Each structure stands twice: as C-alpha cells, then as structure tokens.
Chain A
Amino acid sequence: MAIADLLHQISANPVYRRRAVHTRAAGPELPRYGILEASPHEAIAAYLSGYGIRLYTHQCDAINACGRGSNIIITTPTASGKTLAFNIPVLSRLAADNNSRALYIYPTKALANDQLATLERLAGYTGIDAKPAIYDGDTPQSKRAAIREHARIVLTNPYELHQVLPWHVKWQFFLSGLSFVVIDEAHRYRGVFGSHVSFLIRRLLRLCRHYGSDPQIVLSSATLANPAEFSYNLTGRTFEHIADDGSPRGRKHTILFNPFYDGIAERSTLNETKDLLLSCVKSDLQTLCFTGSRKMTELVALWAREDAKRTSERLAATIASYRAGYLPEERRLLERQLKEGRMKGLVATNALELGIDVGSLDAVIIAGYPGTMMSTRQQAGRAGRNGRESVAILVAKQDPLDQFFMNHPDEFFSRPSEHIIVDSENPYIVSGHILCAAAELPLRPEADSEFFGESFTAMTGDLVAAGLLRETRRGIVYTGRGRATDAVRLDGLSAESFRVVCSGNLLETMDRAQAYREAHDGAIMLHQGVTYIVTEMDLASHTIRVAETDVDYYTQPMKEIDLSIIDTTEKKTINGAECAFGDVEVTERYTCYKIKRKDTVLGVEPLDLPPLTFRTKAFWFVLPTAAEQRTVSAGLDLAGGLHGAEHAIIAMMPLFVLCDRWDIGGLSVPAYGDAGEPTVFVYDGYEGGIGLAEKAFGLLPDLFSASRSLVRDCRCDAGCPSCIYSPKCGNDNVPLDKEATITILDSLAGKEEEKLPLQEGGRAWPIAAIRPD
C-alpha cells in the first residue's frame, strides 16, 4: 500500500522524522444512506441504478428539501457529492415541467466549463432535455441568441451576469421559466465582493418577479460557521441547512511538517515541499500540491521535475504545474491528464481549490497555511476520494502564524471554520446596484425596497438629487449618461492586461502588478516548467517579450511601499491620539531584483520601473507621545507594537464594518513624514475607496477598545493567529511585539491607568467570530 510506504518513509527517514512535528489520523467513516420522500423521476432513478449510486443522507436531505420548495444551503465537505445533490432536483424539475429553467452561477469560467461536462453527461444519460450551455465572455456572438432561446440550464459567472441583466428583455423567455438558481462555491462571495454579488442576486430576483417567476435558490459552500446568516445576507431569503454528511471517508493522515523545527531551517519551505512531492510521486501516490503564489507553483514543479529526471524521464513527465494565467487549452489538457491518471504530481495555485472534479487523489501537500481554515479544509479535502486511505501534509512557512500551528497542533485541529461576512448595507455598494436596477426596470419604492434594504428611500433621494435618477409617473428611472453597469465593478480589479509573447506566440496574460513582479526586464519567468528570460518589457504596448533560456537561477524583485496623504477630510482626537480620515495614495516601487539559485542569493540588479500608484480612502492615527515614551522606556519594540496594533485593528474591522479582512490594507510607520511621528494607516483595498475606512472612522473608539480586548485577553504569550498574527501580512509578520501592542492599544482605548489582571476565559469578544481569515 503506497500510503503506508510514504508514512513509513516519513517516520523512518531522519530528515523527515524531525520535521514531521505532528501526525494525526482520522476515519475511516462508513457511508450513511438516506431515504427520499418522493420517488425520483424515472429517468433519474434509471441513472442512479445504472451507475449503482445509493444516495447518502445529505443528498436525500437536499433532494427532499428542494421537493418541498425550500431554498437550501449545502455545506458538507469537499468530495461529498454536493453537485449530484442539487443536480438531481434541478433535472427532475426540468423533466416534470417543460417550461422550467435553471441558472448556475460559478465564480470562474474554468469551473463552469468543468461542470458543463458533468451536466451534459447527466442530461445525456437520462435523456432529459436540459440543453446545458455556458454563457460567458467567451461565448461567441453567433451562438448567444440560440442559447437564450433553447438552453434550459445556463451556466455563467457573476461578471457576465452583471453585464447580462440590463439585456433582460432578450432573456424574457428564460427568466419567466426560471425555477432554480444554483450558486456553487458560494463561500467565495465574501466581503466587498460578496456584497456586490448579493445585490446582483437581488437584481436577478427582481427581474424574475417582473417576468412572473420565483426561483428556488441552492447554495453550495465550504463548511462555514454561520450558514443561516450568510445565506440570508447573500440572497435576502431563508434557507434549509443541509449539513449531515453521509459520505464515506477513507482513513486520512494529516501531517504538520515544519522545516523550521529547529529554528534554523537549512532549507526553504519550497525545497522541502519539492522533496515531499517527489517522495509521494515515487510512492505512486497521485498528489496535488498547493502553493501560495504563481512563482512558487512553477518553482516547485520545475525543481521536482529536475530531480525526477535523475531517476527517470518518464517520472519527470508526470509532474506539472497548473495556475491562473495559463491558456484555457493548456488547463483543459492538464485537467484531463490528471483525471486519467497520467499525471502523478500537479503543483497548483488555489485556482484548483475551487471544486474542479479531478477524480481521486491520494495525497495533498499544502505549502504554507493558506490563510483560512476554510481554505485549508477545502484543499486537504481533495485527498481521499472514493473512500480510499489518504494523506494531507501542511508544510509550514517561517511566518509566526504557520509556526504557531506547528507548535499548537490542537489549536489547528480543533479550530472552527470561519464566519463569512457579507454586508448588505454598505451604502457605496447598495447605491451602485440601485443605479443598475433602475436602468433595468423603473424602481417602485413600495415594491423594490425589499431588495435594497432600509436605506432605499434615502439613497434614491440622494441619487435623484445628483441627477442620476428621476422620479416619473412610471417609477424612478435611470438618467445617467454612462452605463450603470460600467460604473459598478464587482471586483475592484483593473482590466489592464499585459501579453507575454515568445517569438510571436502568446504565452499568457497578466495584470500590471503581476507583470511588475514577475516579468520585469531580466526576470526569469517560468511557464509549464520551461524557463524564459524577459528580453523586453514594453509598457506602452503592454507587451512582454521573452526568450527561452537555460539558466539555473531565478529572480525575485524587491518592493518598497510608500503612502502619502493627499487630502484630510475629517479630524478628531480620541484618547489623546490624533485621528484622521481622508484620501491617500499608496505607491509601490520595484527598485531592484535578487538573482537566486535555490536558496542562495547570487547578485542584485537595479530596476527602472515607474511606480504603481493606488488612490483610496484611509483612516490613520498618530500615537500620543506619552504612549510612545511608555513603550520605549519599558524596553519594548515600538515598530513591533505599531505593527501588532495595525494587525489587531484590521482583525477586528470585519466585525464592525462587515467586510472581509482581505478587503483592507494597512501600514504602520514608526516615524512618518517630516514630523517623524509613529503613525498607523488602515485603508480600503479598492481604488477610490468603498466606504470601509470611512465607516470604521465613525466607530474608532469602539474599534480601539475591541482591538485592545482582543490582544489583552488572548492567552498566548507572544502573539498568535487569534490576536496579532495576520494571514495576509506583506512582511511575514515581522516585527511583532505583543506587549508593546498592548501598551499602544491601552493608550488608544484610554485605559492605560487600569492594570487589569488577565482573566481566564474573560474574552470580551467572541474570538471565533472575529477571525474571518
């Protein structure tokens, strides 16, 4: 048994043994089958018996609930058969009612492509006339009309839906028969993006009402802490929660693997990951390896192939990388090879975390904690399909956050999944979608306020005053000159795209920030394990020219971040700290790059790139002199304290402004500006701002005291993921000083006189709730 080989190797090999700091096995779990309340459509029944499928408890629960007309949210783990659980009721409905239609929304095009094949197979076998089709940015103009008219299951993504809704007249027929809206991978819709999607869904439901349909909604999501709240916020409807997982599990071994076990780390996380991948592949385990970045993905794959070549070329050919940026054909080919078992080791960015059905895998390696328990479980869940024994390995980075889990395995295994926060009241987002909705159908306050919440009337009044809406006898109509859907962007991402070209052939595309990071002049770029050197970066024509090369080094650019205050809108003093809200400009400069071979730096070359600038809204505060002195005179690290305070405030913000931690950025500077004052900035991660810092600024006293309680009441010694460690820190959580952080937060919260004893269990805030990441 191959798993046993690997486990034996890990426990016998002294290098592995010392690093495998914790191993835990779970399962196996036997299947539990459920009972359907109504017998399924005969075509479906034939399909199930044809494939010898018996439905598990959660699948039956889902089908029964759909049959009763309920909306459902399914949160069972990866590979538990969620897709079948909602495809059966949808197809049964289509079979029973000829006018019935369904809309499936996926977060990415790739995922829709994959699911199309599944639906086609199911429709083909059962003979149910579903005509599933994808309608997205890649759908040719010539096919669109036919899809709108004939397809009874349309698969799309939120970006396309946003563009499609204004054309609802053309979708009249489809929308009037819509009986199911399926939202797969719903946990992706969190924070600001989630708020946008929640209003997109409300706009869709409003149009359905106009055309006389009232679809049931199916949400399929990773396991999360607040399914009822999340599903309600995302859609405005109530749901039945399907969670009783009856699918069987093979025995699963989870290994915490720490390259830094001795505090020295002879070799990097990357190198160790590569070795583990090779050991897995050599033990004949089909292995998926997740890394945190595109470059790590390419490097691990490249090094693993090089090492494998020493044993055999054939072995090397079974290892590949898979990441965003690859052309669709390349991705399709890799997915197929993996499913067919020809590919043994695939190194991926988290693009693959999104439930692409790659069939059974034996092992998963996660290089670096991915930031949330939700992601960790999704990725680890990829191992052990079909009830077989499997292994999942988390390889730690040097980051204190990763190290914390290595040193506290119980925290790791018992940690609950995160809360997913979706704000359905962010005024910037609500108002944008009110404009879009008004352009789709005239707004009628009495009927439409249910979709847009309590602020609807105030908001429309504001927009009428700005000349963007106008009240008429037929409702409130949109009168803006530009297209509303163009002004409202679902993701604040720039549409700029750089083309990477090798002797005239398009290799891949990337956005500007990525191009600066990975494709500057002289950069070594990896694509599918082939090494290229950038010969020219033409900023004007957005073209990067590369040539194939054969070097054994790689490059790593160094970045400087600068923040300047453009305009101060509002000022106030809180507990002696000068606080302000206004416009800032964040500037990133790539000044030079390092040339490295494996983990050794060979040289440093200068770079001449224009800075990347980003304007947004921020709040910031200057630490009072007294607090600064208190920190310094106690021999504490001021920089580590400011940094810790910044992290704690950002950790608490989602609870106050209902966003995701990844929506916010921060910067702490021990000596900012001419006056050299210790300053902390917290800003919206969206060009132009999206109201997060603005709302937090109004709540600063509460935010400060909550952040103080968070850190003060945390039972750790020197910081941990529950207080000051950030899963998205650009400086790998260095420096951090917990005591200095407490001193600073005491001052901000106006509590420096109190010397409270730390109380056991006396947490003022529900810790699990405030850790979205």
Chain B
Amino acid sequence: MAAVPASSRIGEAWQQRIGALREYEVVRDGNVFGTNLFRSCLYASEQTEAQRMLAALLERYRNRPFEEVFSGTVEENEAGNSFSLRSRHPIAQARIDPEEYFTGVWRDLTLVHGIGKATERRLKARGYATIRDLARHPRFRPAAGRVIRKLEEPTSAGIMELIGSRHQRSHPMVLGAAGFHEPEDFVFVDIETLGLFSRPVILIGVGTVEGRHLAISQYLLRSVDEEPAALFAALSHLSDDRSALVTYNGKAFDLPYLQERLAYYGLGVVSGIPHFDCLHFARGMWRNRYPSLRLSALERELFGIVRKDDVPGQMVPEFYDTYLRTGNCGPLVPIVTHNRQDVLSLAMVFFRLIGETYGNC
C-alpha cells in the first residue's frame, strides 16, 4: 500500500513545537516566591523589556553586514574556521604569598583523615602543632604521612582536591591554591549557549592576564557549523601545563557543557586542569552580605557596575535564534557585550576574593 510522502508540514510542525519550548518561567513582577520555585525564571517586565530591545535591534541593524558590525579575525585551526573578537581591559590583581598560605595549611591538622575539630584541639594542646609533627603520632602517623607526601610536592589541583575532600569546596584554603599560579596562568571562561543542555555553544569568552590588563578573546559562531573550530580555539588557551580554569558556576554549567560539546564532535575531553569556581567561594564569603550572588548583581555591589541594554541570560537563545533565522546580526550585539562583561566581572570577582581572603590587594 502507498505511504503518504513526508510532507513539508513536518518541518513546520516541529518548528512550532520546538519554538514554543522555554527553559525558563516568566513570573509576575514582585513575586519573590515565584523566583525561588523555578530553577530559572525571569520577571515579566524583564521579558517585555528584552523583547522591545530585540525589536529595536532588528530595526537598527537591518541590512548591515556582519563584518561592518563586528570587526574580528578569522583563524583556521584543524576543526575549521573560527571568528574571534579581541579586547583589552585594565584590571586590578591580587596575589597570595605562597609561604604564608603554606604555613596555614601545615597547621590545619583536620586535613588528616580521622581528625576533627575536637581532636585537633586536643592534639595541639599536647604539642602537635603541624601535620609534620603528626608523623610521630602513634595513631595518626599513616594518615598524616599520606598528607605530608601530597604537601611536599604540591600542585594546585592536588592541594585543592586534598583540602576540598576534608573541608567544603568553598573553603578559603581551596581558593588559596591559586597561590601556586602566576596571574598569567588563569584562564577566565564564560560561555553562551542555545539552551541549558545538548545544544550548540554560540559564544565562548576567554580572558587571560597580560601585564596590567585582561585580554579577552570571544569566539563567536557566525553559523552553527563554526562550533567545533570555536571550541578548539577556545580550549587552546588551556593547553599550557600551568593553566588554571576560572569560572562562575562553571563546575555545574560551563565545564560539563563544554565537555559534552567536545564529546559530541569527537574532539576529546578536557581533564585534570585545576578549576576555581568563583560561585562557590562567593557563597562562602558573601552569602550573608549580599542579597543575590548572580554575577550581574555581585558586580553592582562590589564594583558599582550597572549594565545598560543587557540581554537577560535566559533570553540569549531566543536572541541568537532570531539572528539565525533572519541573518540580522543586531541581536548578537548585546550577547557579545553581555559575555564580555561576564568575563571581565568574573576576573574582577576572582581577584577580589583572593584579596579579601588573603588581605594582600
């Protein structure tokens, strides 16, 4: 019997159904309870404002060619062509004195398996001042030996794992492992995507310290087929042995997302790179001081930065999708600005965290 041929109705039907999916909830303004209920939500006024902005952008950038709006460079790598935008921003830095930091670490007996706060107090009262002293202790000698071996040949990843396994991940001493790095080792990363999971990354912002500046490279996809090249180019910043990744909520979002996209294209995996997720440290330090720890809220509190014409993060997919469908690059403008500010604020927050924790601004 004859089958009905696959008709063009199908593409259309899926377009409608998929276009109607939202990964955020719009809540009534002032409904603070609503914002807690949903994983990702947006106030109705923010949504309206963003939609108005989108319409204005489409109008302003109509018929303006991409190259005229964005002056970037095209580079070829083994995964194809990538397009990047470069910028430089002055940045205040903070350093940790490794010696001072280490003194503190050696004195923390609770890093040894089996020792809690109370035991530590008793041990200190009996003259065990540092972990080294425990090498003489009849009961804790083996466990202390394991810690000593790790501390004597320290790497930032090893120290973070050791401290993170005995304390909370947001413990200031975990952040202190940054003291093993030169400022040039830090790679600040923030990504923009087409959704919360399993869709293309559309923009990868990478910041590195150059002297007194933060140099930002943003790998922007002119079309989705540039994704593998953009991933490849962005990750080349992490290829140095000394590199350390710095993100804001990157342990939960950016890194797994990048890993998934790399695996999607069969481009290998990122592993073993020390990773400082500033959200964890910000929680530990500022949870009770500031009402919101979203990066855009924190930068306002800490540095007085107020974003103008910003696209809400939740609506980035809609903006980019509009660019894909219309070819009008207007919707990309606020995405690029948003991401650049995210990378810059991330670096500023990171150095502020170090400064406040180790008082050495």
In this complex, which of A167, A172, A432, A481 has the most chain B Cβ atoms within 10 angstroms of its Cβ? A481
The listed residue (B10, B200, B223, B260) touching A169 by CB distance below 8 A is B260
- Alpha-carbon separation in the docked complex, A691 to B318 (Å): 29
**Are A442's CB and B265's CB within 8 A?**
yes
**Are B200's CB and A425's CB within 8 A?**
no
Q: What residues of chain A lie closer than 8 Å to B228, measured between beta carbons?
A: 472-474
The listed residue (A463, A466, A482) touching B21 by CB distance below 8 A is A482
A680 located at the interface, meaning its Cβ lies under 8 Å from any Cβ of chain B in the complex: no
- Alpha-carbon separation in the docked complex, A479 to B202 (Å): 10
User: A470 and B11 in contact (CB under 8 A), knowing A455-B6, A482-B18?
Assistant: no
**Are B23's CB and A428's CB within 8 A?**
no
B14 located at the interface, meaning its Cβ lies under 8 Å from any Cβ of chain A in the complex: yes
- Alpha-carbon separation in the docked complex, A455 to B3 (Å): 11
**Are B11's CB and A698's CB within 8 A?**
no
In this complex, which of A483, A486, A702 has the most chain B Cβ atoms within 10 angstroms of its Cβ? A483
**Are B14's CB and A432's CB within 8 A?**
yes
A658 to chain B, nearest CB (A): 9
- A-B contact count, CB below 8 Å? 131
User: A463 and B1 in contact (CB under 8 A), knowing A478-B199, A481-B318, A486-B21?
Assistant: no
B49 located at the interface, meaning its Cβ lies under 8 Å from any Cβ of chain A in the complex: no
B115 located at the interface, meaning its Cβ lies under 8 Å from any Cβ of chain A in the complex: no
Q: What residues of chain B lie closer than 8 Å to A473, measured between beta carbons?
A: 80, 225, 228
- Alpha-carbon separation in the docked complex, A667 to B256 (Å): 51
**Are A465's CB and B11's CB within 8 A?**
yes
Q: What residues of chain B lie closer than 8 Å to A427, measured between beta carbons?
A: 4, 6-7, 10
User: A439 and B198 in contact (CB under 8 A), knowing A468-B18, A481-B18, A487-B21?
Assistant: yes
B2 located at the interface, meaning its Cβ lies under 8 Å from any Cβ of chain A in the complex: yes
A458 located at the interface, meaning its Cβ lies under 8 Å from any Cβ of chain B in the complex: yes
- Alpha-carbon separation in the docked complex, A287 to B155 (Å): 68
Q: What residues of chain A lie closer than 8 Å to B259, measured between beta carbons?
A: 169
**Are B264's CB and A442's CB within 8 A?**
yes
User: A481 and B225 in contact (CB under 8 A), knowing A441-B264, A466-B11?
Assistant: no
A351 located at the interface, meaning its Cβ lies under 8 Å from any Cβ of chain B in the complex: no
- Alpha-carbon separation in the docked complex, A477 to B80 (Å): 15
**Are B325's CB and A470's CB within 8 A?**
no
Q: Using a CB-CB cutoff of 8 Å, which residues 81-128 of chain B contact chain A?
A: none
Q: What residues of chain A lie closer than 8 Å to B225, measured between beta carbons?
A: 470-473, 477
Which range contains the number of B residues in contact with the other chain?
Answer: 35 or more
**Are A479's CB and B224's CB within 8 A?**
yes
B176 located at the interface, meaning its Cβ lies under 8 Å from any Cβ of chain A in the complex: no
Q: Using a CB-CB cutoff of 8 Å, which residues 141-179 of chain A contact chain B?
A: 166-167, 169, 172
User: A435 and B14 in contact (CB under 8 A), knowing A169-B259, A462-B6?
Assistant: yes
The listed residue (A172, A466, A694) touching B4 by CB distance below 8 A is A694
B8 located at the interface, meaning its Cβ lies under 8 Å from any Cβ of chain A in the complex: yes
A515 to chain B, nearest CB (A): 22
User: A481 and B12 in contact (CB under 8 A), knowing A442-B264, A458-B6, A471-B225?
Assistant: no
A586 located at the interface, meaning its Cβ lies under 8 Å from any Cβ of chain B in the complex: no
- Alpha-carbon separation in the docked complex, A474 to B5 (Å): 28
Q: What residues of chain B lie closer than 8 Å to A482, measured between beta carbons?
A: 17-23, 195
Q: What residues of chain A lie closer than 8 Å to B11, measured between beta carbons?
A: 431, 462-463, 465-466, 468
Q: Using a CB-CB cutoff of 8 Å, which residues 257-282 of chain B contact chain A?
A: 259-260, 263-266
Q: Using a CB-CB cutoff of 8 Å, which residues 278-328 of chain B contact chain A?
A: 317-318, 321, 324-325
**Are A439's CB and B199's CB within 8 A?**
yes
Q: What residues of chain B lie closer than 8 Å to A487, measured between beta carbons?
A: 14, 17-18, 21
**Are B199's CB and A480's CB within 8 A?**
yes
B38 located at the interface, meaning its Cβ lies under 8 Å from any Cβ of chain A in the complex: no
Q: What residues of chain A lie closer than 8 Å to B1, measured between beta carbons?
A: 656, 699, 702
A395 located at the interface, meaning its Cβ lies under 8 Å from any Cβ of chain B in the complex: no
Q: What residues of chain A lie closer than 8 Å to B2, measured between beta carbons?
A: 698-699
Q: What residues of chain A lie closer than 8 Å to B342, measured between beta carbons?
A: none
- Alpha-carbon separation in the docked complex, A710 to B303 (Å): 80
B235 to chain A, nearest CB (A): 16
**Are A440's CB and B198's CB within 8 A?**
yes
- Alpha-carbon separation in the docked complex, A216 to B7 (Å): 35
- Alpha-carbon separation in the docked complex, A110 to B318 (Å): 40
Q: What residues of chain A lie closer than 8 Å to B20, measured between beta carbons?
A: 482
Q: What residues of chain A lie closer than 8 Å to B13, measured between beta carbons?
A: 428, 688
The listed residue (B10, B195, B198) touching A462 by CB distance below 8 A is B10
B194 located at the interface, meaning its Cβ lies under 8 Å from any Cβ of chain A in the complex: yes
B80 and chain A: residue at smallest CB distance: A473
B24 to chain A, nearest CB (A): 12
A501 located at the interface, meaning its Cβ lies under 8 Å from any Cβ of chain B in the complex: no
The listed residue (A431, A467, A474, A478) touching B10 by CB distance below 8 A is A431
- Alpha-carbon separation in the docked complex, A483 to B7 (Å): 23
Q: What residues of chain A lie closer than 8 Å to B265, measured between beta carbons?
A: 442, 474
The listed residue (B3, B6, B80, B199) touching A483 by CB distance below 8 A is B199
A723 located at the interface, meaning its Cβ lies under 8 Å from any Cβ of chain B in the complex: no
B23 to chain A, nearest CB (A): 7
- Alpha-carbon separation in the docked complex, A487 to B200 (Å): 17
A565 located at the interface, meaning its Cβ lies under 8 Å from any Cβ of chain B in the complex: no
**Are B200's CB and A477's CB within 8 A?**
yes
A462 to chain B, nearest CB (A): 4
Q: What residues of chain B lie closer than 8 Å to A441, measured between beta carbons?
A: 264
- Alpha-carbon separation in the docked complex, A484 to B196 (Å): 12
- Alpha-carbon separation in the docked complex, A486 to B17 (Å): 10
A459 located at the interface, meaning its Cβ lies under 8 Å from any Cβ of chain B in the complex: yes
A580 to chain B, nearest CB (A): 16
Q: What residues of chain B lie closer than 8 Å to A485, measured between beta carbons?
A: 198
B253 located at the interface, meaning its Cβ lies under 8 Å from any Cβ of chain A in the complex: no
B227 located at the interface, meaning its Cβ lies under 8 Å from any Cβ of chain A in the complex: yes
B21 to chain A, nearest CB (A): 3
**Are A470's CB and B223's CB within 8 A?**
yes
**Are A477's CB and B227's CB within 8 A?**
yes
Q: Using a CB-CB cutoff of 8 Å, which residues 184-214 of chain B contact chain A?
A: 194-200
- Alpha-carbon separation in the docked complex, A702 to B324 (Å): 44
A478 and chain B: residue at smallest CB distance: B199
**Are A483's CB and B224's CB within 8 A?**
no
**Are B227's CB and A463's CB within 8 A?**
no
B15 located at the interface, meaning its Cβ lies under 8 Å from any Cβ of chain A in the complex: yes
A583 to chain B, nearest CB (A): 12
- Alpha-carbon separation in the docked complex, A563 to B45 (Å): 39
**Are B4's CB and A479's CB within 8 A?**
no
A150 to chain B, nearest CB (A): 20
- Alpha-carbon separation in the docked complex, A471 to B223 (Å): 11
A695 located at the interface, meaning its Cβ lies under 8 Å from any Cβ of chain B in the complex: yes
**Are B196's CB and A483's CB within 8 A?**
yes
Q: What residues of chain B lie closer than 8 Å to A465, measured between beta carbons?
A: 8, 11
Q: What residues of chain A lie closer than 8 Å to B23, measured between beta carbons?
A: 482-483
- Alpha-carbon separation in the docked complex, A468 to B199 (Å): 11
**Are A481's CB and B21's CB within 8 A?**
yes
**Are A481's CB and B196's CB within 8 A?**
no
Q: What residues of chain B lie closer than 8 Å to A458, measured between beta carbons?
A: 5-6
Q: What residues of chain A lie closer than 8 Å to B3, measured between beta carbons?
A: 425, 695
**Are A483's CB and B195's CB within 8 A?**
yes
User: A479 and B194 in contact (CB under 8 A), knowing A467-B324, A470-B223?
Assistant: yes
- Alpha-carbon separation in the docked complex, A480 to B14 (Å): 9
Q: What residues of chain B lie closer than 8 Å to A431, measured between beta carbons?
A: 6, 10-11, 14
**Are B325's CB and A467's CB within 8 A?**
yes
* 21 pairs, A vs B, C-beta closer than 8 Å: A169-B263, A427-B4, A428-B10, A463-B10, A466-B14, A468-B14, A472-B227, A472-B228, A473-B228, A474-B266, A479-B194, A480-B18, A481-B21, A482-B19, A482-B23, A482-B195, A483-B23, A484-B18, A487-B14, A688-B17, A699-B1
17 more CB-based (< 8 A) A-B contacts, given A440-B198, A474-B265, A480-B199 = A425-B3, A427-B7, A441-B264, A442-B265, A462-B8, A463-B10, A468-B11, A468-B18, A471-B225, A473-B80, A478-B200, A481-B199, A481-B321, A482-B23, A486-B21, A688-B13, A702-B1
- A-B pairs, top 9 by smallest CB distance, nearest first, are A482-B21, A466-B11, A472-B225, A427-B6, A462-B11, A169-B263, A482-B18, A166-B198, A480-B18
Give residues in B with beta carbon < 8 Å to A: 1-8, 10-15, 17-23, 80, 194-200, 223-225, 227-228, 259-260, 263-266, 317-318, 321, 324-325
